[in-house]
Amino acid sequence: MTGRDKPLLLLFQDEARFGRMSDPARCWAPAPIRPTVGLALIREFRYFYAAIGPQEGTLHWLVTEKMNTENMSMFLKQIEEAHTDRHGYGC
């Protein structure tokens, strides 16, 4: 089956970032208590790629440490390998 003979694969894709950022700030405390907090901003994130195929009811996802071209290419390769019988990006 050549690429032109394969049925089209339609996917809807999105990326998201989930995580936390600590931000110590001033707060009220009764006298004579004056707590001290060292300033240490913490940023921890995970990046999620997801694609759904409504025609087949499929879901593909990938969780990574960074959102970059390399990880997006890895995600697209994962989809391509799962749908060798369909025509789509990179097929």
Rg, Å, the chain Cα set: 22
- Measure the CA–CA gap between 1 and 22, rounded to whole angstroms: 54
pLDDT tens-digit map of 31-77: 787 777 666 677 889 999 999 999 889 999 999 999 999 999 999 99
Tokens found for residue 22: 């600590």
Tokens found for residue 79: 């989809």
Tell me the pLDDT band of 91, cut-offs 50, 70 and 90: very low
- Measure the CA–CA gap between 10 and 87, rounded to whole angstroms: 9
pLDDT tens-digit map of 1-24: 555 677 888 899 999 999 887 776
